[in-house]
Amino acid sequence: MINLETPRKFRAFVNQAHQVAAEMLRPNSRQYDLAEHAYPKELDMLAAMVDGLGASGTGSGAGAGGVRRTESSDDDAGKVKNGSNLSSVLSIMEMCWGDVGLLLSMPRQGLGNSAIASVASDEQLKRFEGVWAGMAITEPGCGSDSASIQTTARLDGDHYVIDGEKIFVTAGGRCDAVVVWATLDKSLGRAAIKSFVVFKDTPGMTVDRLEHKLGIRSSDTATIRFENCRVPAANLLGSTEVDADKGFAGVMQTFDNTRPLVAAMAVGCARASLEVTRELLASADVEIDYDRPVHLQTAAAASYLQMEADWEAAYLLTLQAAWMADNGKPNSLQASMAKAKAGRVGNDITLRCVELAGSLGYSEHELLEKWARDSKILDIFEGTQQIQQLIVARRLLGKTSAELK
């Protein structure tokens, strides 16, 4: 049975993550928000620390690169695991309490690293160790419907030839490689979609531009073009087989692991907003009394209590989705529920905190306005709010994607 308290073996590590967020990420938050596209060099040392913790076992699978689903054996029957997925979720919550954009800018902690950890073979895991990988899914004519990907991968000898264009690639200008989603055969639909690790120095791969954005400005977002880009066949992640019955479950398993991570980002950012707002309310003599009914408190206090309740629900859903992945349980429904709840709640909370704080919330005097801008992307990437609700509906009703669109 899941225990919703932070596991004892993770507590020291989570405290370390919070300390790093407080002493390194948050103090640099405003600087790199204003200096869009400037690389935060302070993160090199931090990434080296995370790598060291992971290698020593102290970090218990810290960061996006730590997530991996393992099959349960007979010896594990009845045992509860608190593994890399839960550890990653807890650490990311703390880091995004500091700054979401800087967390997304950390070397070797990209969403592409999570994709590699999720579906790569053991040999590929070893070969791609230490690589900073971005994730290239979205296309100009293909947003939330990943099954409509038009980028193609054609087998030519011992290489695949990739052609297409990817947009909104997080860390696309800085990373060492990108995990590219492409189809082996458009006529086969989603069943032929595979993911490939493509290194940045590969001929035919071009970073066209970096986007200017509303939030997470310290993290670069790139458009990448592939023209006759030859990638070793060994860089195809997971199975090479095209199974029409299975669809693209292999690459979709990536989302089952990364969506709780994005939910954790929203939970961490929202918690930061709640804490600052509570301090501001206290300085204005607004009392939040947990022993009195909501309707007997001020409007500001009642609003704050409602936000806290929503935050708690998002937090618990996120832990559940990560815990299920660690214990080899199918978590597609829970991953989408966590992403949908945390994405919406995170954005709602940060905006309402700006409102409650008034002019202090809207100005650069506090980080509240920045967190409101940063939080919006967390309701969009890795599957929009609407797509998550559609996935949840399909799972609950037992409908296929063809039956419920």
Active site members: 382
Read off the amino acid at residue 184: L
Taking the alpha carbons at both ends of the chain, their separation in whole angstroms is 34
Q: Could you tell me if 326 and 84 are in contact, meaning their C-beta atoms sit under 8 angstroms apart?
A: yes
- In sequence order, the 6+-apart residues with CB closer than 8 A to the CB of 27 are none
- In sequence order, the 6+-apart residues with CB closer than 8 A to the CB of 263 are 89, 314, 317, 318, 321, 338, 339, 341, 342, 343, 378
Q: How far is CA 384 from CA 14, 42, 136, 147, 172, in A?
A: 28, 31, 16, 15, 20
Could you tell me the maximum CA-CA distance found in the chain, to the nearest angstrom? 73
